[in-house]
A = this chain, B = another copy of it.
Amino acid sequence: MNLNKAKLIVQKYGGTSVGSVERIKEVARRIELRKQEVDRIVVVVSAMAGETDRLISLAREMGDTPPLREQDVLLSSGEQVSVALLSMALTERGIKARSFLSFQLPIVTDERHAAAIIKDIRVEGLLHSLQEGEVAVVAGFQGLTPSGSITTLGRGGSDTTAVAFAAALDADYCEIYTDVEGIYTCDPQIHSFARKLKKISYEGMMELAGLGAKVLHNRCVELARKYNVKILVRSSFNNNEGTWVCEEEEDMEGALISGVTYKRGEVKISVLGVPDKPGVASLIFIPLAEMGINVDMIIQNIGRNKAADVTFTVPEEELEKALQAVQQVAAEIGAEGVDCDRNIAKVSIVGGGMRSNPGVASRMFQVLAREGINILMISTSEIKISCIIDVRYTELAVRILHDAFELGGNSV
């Protein structure tokens, strides 16, 4: 893709990219350079790094459960500050600029405060601004309900704002600036041979994001896939090439798998000796769903005596709530008992190539076994294989899988 031939692009700068007066000025300088090549630029901005956390802690000081409507009013002020300051910095460089808050477009969402879904984006005002030669500076993360209350899209929502505008404006692509240089084959802090990918498919990126790689908000990738918005993830701290997130192509990496990732902070709960009757599994998971507990992996083994062991993982912070609910159900359905394990981690390999290569899973299990790493649970999707292992072996597992699948080398 030729970056310079674009007619209209959306850029998104995250919190660290606009984390100080100096950083905001640097972003303005980058936009100025880019404006010489690209005719029309829409910039989506997050709150300055630390600001959202500061505001949340203010809210907490007002009470344990601040009303979400007012929390959204509070948090959205962070992006309001950023768009104003960046517009000022651009004006100071002689670049015409205009800020847009969600109500000024509007960005219409549903009524779910703190986790709103974008329903509609009106771009007339923004197109008028671009027509006037202005850089349109849009507050990320925020929306407006049909009745006029401010909403927020949840953490990382500014990515979603950016992709939504890229889709609505039929932009050539969407650049997401962050404090890492792109998407890596594994966490560079765990393995020095981690390699930056040139491209990754939407699906691959979604699996990675869901598995704990925190570069892109998952909803934003889903939206990008839906509207076929090309995303370029890159750093605002240097000029290195980033990683394209786009539709899978023939030449894409060519590799079997594109990355190894890991996630800690989950716990494993097992309901042992569950009588094997139809509908028994739903009795366990319905109460958890009603409590809003996010169940991740689930496995069921039919064992001796027509009794099953049902095992699943939940976020660590929801363990107590989940255990309470599960113990009650276990008693009701006549299960033998409930067990849990906190010391686990999930290690996964992700890649479109494994679709046509049935040997990938067994190779992964072999590699882990060779180092004596016991696999506690397995879960697979079309382009991902995840294993739950003892948390102590997390880094080791990532490194040996990275090497075994030859992801290293050629680091950019």
Contact = CB atoms under 8 A, between A and B. Distances in A.
Interface of A: 21, 24-25, 55, 58-59, 61-63, 66-67, 69-71, 73-74, 76-77, 80-81, 83-85, 87-89, 91-92, 97-99, 101, 103-104, 125, 148-150
B104 A88 contact: no
A88 B62 contact: yes
Contact of A83 (B73, B76, B80, B87): B73
Given A63-B92, A77-B77, A104-B148, A70 B55 contact: no
B55 A92 contact: no
A82 to B, nearest CB: 9
A67 B81 contact: no
B66 A88 contact: yes
A156 B154 CA distance: 35
B91 A66 contact: yes
B62 A24 contact: yes
A21 B58 contact: yes
Contact of A91 (B58, B63, B91, B97): B63
24 contacts: A21-B58, A24-B62, A58-B81, A62-B85, A63-B88, A63-B89, A63-B91, A67-B91, A69-B98, A69-B99, A70-B83, A70-B84, A71-B84, A73-B80, A73-B84, A73-B87, A73-B101, A74-B80, A74-B85, A76-B80, A77-B81, A80-B80, A104-B149, A125-B148
B91 A70 contact: yes
A74 B87 CA distance: 10
Contacts of A103: 103, 148
A187 to B, nearest CB: 35
A55 B84 CA distance: 10
A67 B80 contact: no
Given A21-B62, A55-B81, A104-B149, 15 more contacts: A21-B58, A25-B62, A58-B81, A59-B85, A62-B85, A63-B88, A67-B87, A67-B88, A67-B91, A70-B84, A70-B88, A73-B87, A74-B84, A77-B77, A101-B150
A95 to B, nearest CB: 11
A61 to B, nearest CB: 5
Q: Which 10 A-B pairs have the closest CB atoms?
A: A63-B92, A74-B84, A62-B88, A73-B84, A77-B77, A70-B87, A66-B88, A77-B80, A70-B84, A21-B61
Nearest to A79: B77
A82 B69 CA distance: 14
A67 B69 CA distance: 31
